[in-house]
A and B are shown apart, each in its own frame.
Chain A
Amino acid sequence: MATRNFGAPIRRNEDKRLLTGQALFVDDVELPGMVYAAFLRSNVAHAAIRSIDVSAARARPGVVAVYTAADLGAYWAPGPLLVPPPPIADIVFNQRTQVPLAKDKVRHVGEPLAVVLAQSRYLAEDALADIAVELDPLPAVVDLEAALADASARVHEDVRGNVAAHVRQTRGNYASARAGADRVIGRRFHYDHGASSPIETRGIVANWDARANQLTVWDTTQAPVFLRNGLAAMLGLSERQVRVIAPFVGGGFGPKIMLFYPEEVVIPWVARKLNRPVKWIEDRLEHFFATTQERGQTHDAEIALSRDGRILGVKDVFLHDTGAYNPYGLTVPINSQCTLLGPYVVPAYDSTFTAVFTNKPIVTPYRGAGRQHGVFVMERLLDIAARELKLDRAEIRRRNFIPPDAFPYNNEIIYQDFAPLSYDSGNYGPVLDKALAMIDYDRFLAEEQPRLRAQGRHVGIGIACYVEGTGIGPYEGAKVQVQANGRVNLATGIGTQGQGHFTSFAQIAADQLGVAVSDVDVVTGDTDQFYWGAGTFASRGAVVAGNAVNEAAKVVRQKILRLAAEHFECAEEDLEIANGAVSVVGVPGQAVTLGALALKANPMRGAVRPGTEPGLESTQYFGPPGGATASGAHAMIVEVDPQTFTLEVRKYAVVHDCGTVINPLILAGQIHGGVAQGIGNAFYEQLVFDEAGQLLNASLADYLLPTALEVPRMEIGHTVTPSPLNPLGIKGAGEAGAIPVGPLFAQAIEDALALPARNVELNEIPLSPNRLFELTTKPP
């Protein structure tokens, strides 16, 4: 290979289109005869539906149609269970999935009741006001503990205590670990994650082509293949009759992989019914109710330790808010349960959770997908343990790291991919050491902090460690083809929402095929181009699809060499591929372009040998035997204003080990963005529901996404422990940045304000200036 692109900070192929306003997003799709949808949504969290009268709306000029659940007939059905519960003994799982339009009852604010189709979105929204709805309000189920009481209202009448699921996983014997412990520390922790809030909301355009008998759907989904297959099944079509295109998608972060959203069920049905293209674009207010969120858990956790700070066992019992329905199964709480263990040896673990139905929007994974909640509990327990045992915060972590010679390391519980939670590889000590060096930990504690404190400044330091299970199966595929013009076409089934797949996948193929990265055209998320695969989630795109690209490109490379060897009548070993051409080593001037070979591989006349495949093309698949476990440490120095409780992050360091790195520029971007979302989660973003289940801050003026003023400059360091589970050695990186920021903030703010001396602990996320004021002025 002449130049190696893998590992280089290559500029992105997709940027020019995005920078010039030429990239197609769903709302950019304009089709002749299009009608525009608006949904009437419940304005209360819990109510029986007495009546819906749409006659006035239907009569409004410009309105094409109005539909309610009754109009859907046999098409009306609860959605599928996207992820079934894992095979864990004695698991309780009550499946209750969302419906396309509410029929008898509404279970959260924003649940759709009717859809209006009109000549414009403006007219469609006008007509929403014409619909008369009679609702009989019911008491809303909001608080998790209250929901479990027999006397509580029920989100689903037949689910007693609103128990969506109950799961216990154990390892070793916690009771005996506790009995033998020198110290047992127990606390209650609250961790609330928020709304992913991509700047592009969701949207769908559906077009039924009656002549071709084909449905085309443009959707902001992270899982186009799954969406196509599901739509075909629901509509009674074969998969080939449905084409789903996830074009450029303006951020996803998890909720865009949830399916089927009610709108995804309704809009294609309407397009077919009206035989006209239909567009629905979610507005920002709708996004706060109609798109899934992640939200909260309450943990009662305890840790048993030896006096030298070794973890003997952890027990955790937690409640998980799953919202009104649970189509995504148990992915979020299972991730919390598993990721709590972190990079540490925990010989005994006893973890039980109850997932609770509430009259709030549906909870599904959002960047981190429950991992944050678990990491917060463990990191806070270690901070408290360090304090009580008079150990350094970094030292207690180091003492408990899984040693580098213990991999693969089996935690003996079941992970979200249904496989045992086994870490493929890792080396945690150097990660922590590097983070401590970057933040200048020892000097800060010995010199800087005392000096600043003497000046009356409130500065503190934090250090937090985590692992992230990434790159899970089942599989992805890729098709690589050399075109007659010498460019390489590469198609894969996953969707892309800004991760740089147009470039990172091109880098992998370019290295195998000896072409420039800019000569590789990547197609993602168009089921007419590639229709196998699962989607973009769990930090798996680069790992799983990336390796499939590598496998396909390797086969194409072999085809190129075989054909070129025939062409030159030489051995394949004598050939090299570089700069888009094959040449004979040591024979200047002897070269044939890849485009010429592609033409040669598709002869118009003559005979070919039996078994010959035309073209320079291959489709290959990759499915890892298990997830690849990435790890990292974040460190931060923060200054807190003791009057206003506003923060200034003085220094932020990230050390991350995600195996081999495809593109360090893209990786840095992923980490920066993850940290920014982590900061939002830790200190600025909170979904505030009242006791009636109303979200009180459903606008970007009130739900505070961090701006350029809140997100500090970050320093990034890497260590590289390749994954043995895939040939490229990659581990996922998409979610890592967001995972440890909560405990880091809690620890550093506690330190800055010297809260332990005042018997105040920060055992909840999000924090905020208001909350810090409350916690530090009230008796604990």
Chain B
Amino acid sequence: MVTEAENIDAHDITLTVNGTPYRRQVEARTLLSDFLRHDLLLAGTHVGCEHGVCGACTVLFDGAAVRSCLMFAAQADGHAILTVEGLAGDPEHLHPLQEAMRECHGLQCGYCTPGILMTMKAFLEETAAPDEAQIREALSGNLCRCTGYQHIVEAMQLAAERLRG
């Protein structure tokens, strides 16, 4: 987050998040996760471990799934970020991934869910017709402590089917 300018290595950055352009000044050490959550107030991206294991903070960085706790906000200069708030593209509707998660009861406390949605969006764009083993492999970088994953796997099978049309 941005703090007093003294003794701080500040960077001016320009980026787009969910299609909206932003210009901000950030401290060099500001994590991308903190920048999204506390500077841009896009609090849907959650922080679970801040050491790159749990995957809750996953966002899309120029379309690739990345852990926003392992990047600095300054590294996002000139890039496009997609967060869970921008997934559906329209606040009235859910993305097919979100719909499928609801139908299959793929979330309980919902804290890990935004990271899972973003990971799986990137995955299903690369792998349109995954089998269960591929889905589990793709999911294995996101920890969920509530669901035991089974309903998430079912939701991804359903979403993949629908996204294929």
Are A711 and B146 also in contact (CB < 8 A) when A19-B117, A21-B85, A199-B111 are? Answer: no
| Contact for B50 among A284, A499, A674, A705, CB less than 8 A | A284
Task: Tell me, yes or no, whether A757 is within 8 Å of chain B by CB.
Answer: no
Are A665 and B42 also in contact (CB < 8 A) when A123-B3, A672-B150 are? Answer: no
B139 near A498: Cβ-Cβ < 8 Å:
no
| Contact for B102 among A16, A27, A709, CB less than 8 A | A16
Interface of B is mostly: loop
B53 near A251: Cβ-Cβ < 8 Å:
no
A198 near B145: Cβ-Cβ < 8 Å:
yes
| Contact for B143 among A18, A674, A707, CB less than 8 A | A707
A199 near B144: Cβ-Cβ < 8 Å:
yes
Task: Tell me, yes or no, whether B58 is within 8 Å of chain A by CB.
Answer: no
Task: Tell me, yes or no, whether A170 is within 8 Å of chain B by CB.
Answer: no
Task: Tell me, yes or no, whether A773 is within 8 Å of chain B by CB.
Answer: no
Q: State the CA gap A666–B150 with chains docked (Å).
A: 13
B3 near A119: Cβ-Cβ < 8 Å:
yes
A19 near B4: Cβ-Cβ < 8 Å:
no
Task: Tell me, yes or no, whether A11 is within 8 Å of chain B by CB.
Answer: yes
Task: Tell me, yes or no, whether A290 is within 8 Å of chain B by CB.
Answer: no
Interface of A is mostly: loop
**Smallest CB gap from A709: residue in B:** B140
Are A122 and B43 also in contact (CB < 8 A) when A673-B148, A699-B53 are? Answer: no
**Smallest CB gap from A23: residue in B:** B110
**Smallest CB gap from A710: residue in B:** B140
A62 near B111: Cβ-Cβ < 8 Å:
no
A15 near B107: Cβ-Cβ < 8 Å:
yes
B147 near A673: Cβ-Cβ < 8 Å:
yes
| Contact for A666 among B1, B105, B110, CB less than 8 A | B105
Q: State the CA gap A714–B150 with chains docked (Å).
A: 8
Are A248 and B109 also in contact (CB < 8 A) when A15-B102, A198-B145, A253-B145 are? Answer: yes
- Total B residues in contact with A, Cβ cutoff 8 Å: 64
Q: State the CA gap A21–B114 with chains docked (Å).
A: 7
**Smallest CB gap from B2: residue in A:** A120
Q: State the CA gap A343–B45 with chains docked (Å).
A: 45
Task: Tell me, yes or no, whether A32 is within 8 Å of chain B by CB.
Answer: no
Residues 96-150 of B at the A interface (beta carbon under 8 Å): 98, 101-103, 105, 107-114, 117, 132, 135-137, 139-150
Give every chain B residue within 8 A of A497 (Cβ-Cβ): 109
A733 to chain B, nearest CB (A): 13
Task: Tell me, yes or no, whether B11 is within 8 Å of chain A by CB.
Answer: no
A672 near B151: Cβ-Cβ < 8 Å:
yes
Residue of A120, A199, A709 contacting most chain B CB atoms (<10 Å): A199
Task: Tell me, yes or no, whether A532 is within 8 Å of chain B by CB.
Answer: no
| Contact for A498 among B38, B51, B109, CB less than 8 A | B109
Are A21 and B111 also in contact (CB < 8 A) when A12-B105, A199-B46, A699-B53 are? Answer: no
Q: What 1/0 flags go to A654-670 for Cβ under 8 Å of B?
A: 00000000000110110
Residues of A in contact with B, size category: 35 or more
Give every chain B residue within 8 A of A499 (Cβ-Cβ): 108
B105 near A61: Cβ-Cβ < 8 Å:
no
Are A673 and B53 also in contact (CB < 8 A) when A199-B111, A200-B109 are? Answer: no
| Contact for A701 among B44, B51, B151, CB less than 8 A | B51
| Contact for A248 among B87, B110, B117, CB less than 8 A | B110
A21 near B45: Cβ-Cβ < 8 Å:
yes
Task: Tell me, yes or no, whether A500 is within 8 Å of chain B by CB.
Answer: yes
B109 near A27: Cβ-Cβ < 8 Å:
no
Residue of B83, B98, B150 contacting most chain A CB atoms (<10 Å): B150
Task: Tell me, yes or no, whether A283 is within 8 Å of chain B by CB.
Answer: yes
Q: State the CA gap A14–B111 with chains docked (Å).
A: 13
Task: Tell me, yes or no, whether A449 is within 8 Å of chain B by CB.
Answer: no
Residues 7-49 of B at the A interface (beta carbon under 8 Å): 7, 27, 29-30, 37-38, 41-49
Besides A251-B111, A707-B149, 17 new A-B residue pairs in contact (Cβ under 8 A), listed by A number = A11-B105, A14-B110, A18-B110, A20-B98, A21-B45, A21-B84, A25-B111, A28-B37, A119-B4, A198-B145, A251-B145, A498-B107, A669-B108, A672-B149, A673-B145, A676-B148, A699-B53
Interface residues of A (CB under 8 A from B): 11-12, 14-16, 18-23, 25, 27-28, 30, 61-62, 119-123, 196-201, 248-251, 253, 283-284, 497-500, 665-666, 668-669, 671-677, 699-701, 705, 707-709, 711, 713-714, 737
Q: Offer 25 A-B interface pairs, CB within 8 angstroms, sorted by A.
A: A11-B102, A11-B103, A12-B105, A16-B102, A18-B107, A18-B113, A19-B102, A20-B84, A20-B94, A25-B111, A61-B6, A119-B4, A122-B29, A251-B145, A253-B145, A499-B108, A665-B105, A671-B148, A673-B148, A676-B147, A701-B51, A705-B143, A705-B145, A708-B139, A737-B148
